[in-house]
Amino acid sequence: MSQPALEIILHNYPQSPVAEKVRIALGIKGISWRNVEIPRLPPKPMLTALTGGYRRTPVMQIGADIYCDSQCIIREIERRYPSPSFMPGAYPGLMWCLSRWTDGVLFDLAVKIVLGSAGDGLPKDFAEDRGRLYLGKDWADGLRHANAELPHLVAQLRAPLAWLNRQLSDGRTFLLGTAPAAIDAQIYHVVWFVRGRWDGGPSLFSEFPELVRWEDNVRAIGHGKPSDMSPEDAITRAHILEPAMETGVAENDPQGLKVGTSVTVNPDVDGGEQPVEGKVRKADAETIAIDRFSQEIGTACVHFPRAGYRIEIRKGRRVLGSA
Ligand SMILES: N[C@@H](CCC(=O)N[C@@H](CS)C(=O)NCC(=O)O)C(=O)O
């Protein structure tokens, strides 16, 4: 049995599709984890105390190591629990490349369909927050535009649904065969989101019976073994433990990062988010981990993916632009 202190703690809320991706991933591993429910809308002071400002969902905590973004979370779960593998096929590198599309273009499309179809029906505070996060400064125009071009957006989603339906038409249980893979969770979360949050979703998916059969198979994987934890307990856990991540920067870092370099890290999109400040503890091609100190937590190591995130180097109070 793992030490309780090193349990996986997932900060998330039930309606979050990206959290659903990770919950299914935890189901594939069949492991126990602790569930901390966070607010759907900022402020999220108990979460940002751990992350240093990152406010998206989900965030995984293991002791004083904090993992931001499902890409980073899935990689770390695979490292700690290699069996059964998230990459049962012969193409793990290609699967990661494909996940950049599921998490980027495909997820953005789903967001536009869900938010755009709601028109004026979204609660004002939710529309303002998610509009700014996903559609940029001119989000109100973006929402109107998404509403007006809904048929076009649905056509963009329908094409990959047809491809997936064809992939599954030989009766296979999961996308790569008999064993579930990370890519099942990475595609399923988008389908789950559109089905549950757009009233045209069920009718769109009914056109694709193999896909519906696959959805049932992925849903049946479940979420592993969650048990609730309070945010206060999660903070205490981070406070009493030191980060476990090793120290070091891989050679040939394109931005010249070194252990101890002061940086800010932020998603590489215009979402109006607060950059997270810290000092580099570990960096390689795929991840960056930075150390942060606060009275409340002590030292926490906050991990981000390298792909999709912008790192800027700070000199004194000045932030130097990265290339
Ligand atoms: N690239 C991130 C995206 C995370 C994301 O955008 N999550 C949504 C929820 S599904 C979110 O943060 N929404 C705003 C919020 O929860 O405050 C990841 O893969 O984890």
* pLDDT tens digit sequence for 18-77: 999 999 999 999 999 999 999 999 999 999 999 999 999 999 999 999 999 999 999 999
Q: Which of 272, 233, 286, 232 is nearest to 67 (CA)?
A: 286
- Give the pLDDT of residue 322: 45
Segments making up each domain of the chain, as ranges: 4-84+227-320, 92-221
Query: Measuring CA to CA, how many Å separate 286 from each of 192, 206, 289?
Result: 28, 38, 10
State which ligand 1 atom lies nearest to the alpha carbon of 73: 20
Q: Which residues of 209-245 are buried (b: 16+ CB within 10 A; e: fewer)?
A: ebbbebbebbeebebbebeebebeebbebbbebebeb
In short, whether 103's Cβ falls inside 6 Å of ligand 1 is: yes
Backbone angles phi, psi at 293, to 5 degrees: -120, 135
pLDDT, residue 191, reads: 98
Q: What does the pLDDT read at residue 316?
A: 73
CB of 7 within 6 A of ligand 1: the answer is: no
Nearest CA to ligand 1 atom 20: 69
Backbone angles phi, psi at 321, to 5 degrees: -65, 140
Q: What is the pTM of this model?
A: 0.97
The finding on whether 51 has its CB within 6 A of some atom of ligand 1 is no
Tokens of 108: 């953005």
CA distance 99 to 91: 12
Domain 4-84+227-320 has CATH 3.40.50.1820: no
Atom of ligand 1 nearest to the CA of 308: 1
Which amino acid residue places its CA nearest to atom 2 of ligand 1? Answer: 69
Substitution site in 36, 47, 56, 193 for ligand 1 pocket (most atoms within 8 Å of beta carbon): 56
- Condensed to tens digits (0 to 9), the pLDDT of residues 216-226 reads 999 999 999 99
CATH of segment(s) 92-221: 1.20.1050.10
Spatial separation of the C-alpha atoms in residues 206 and 1, rounded to whole Å: 43
Residues of the chain short of pLDDT 50, as ranges, are 1, 322-323
Cα 217 to averaged position of ligand 1 atoms, centre (Å): 25
Q: Is 56 in the pocket of ligand 1 (CB under 6 A)?
A: yes
d(CA 123, CA 236): 34
Q: Judge residue 252's burial from the number of C-beta atoms within 10 Å of its C-beta, 0-12 exposed, 13-18 middle, 19 or more buried.
A: exposed
Beta-bridged to residue 9, according to DSSP, are 34, 61
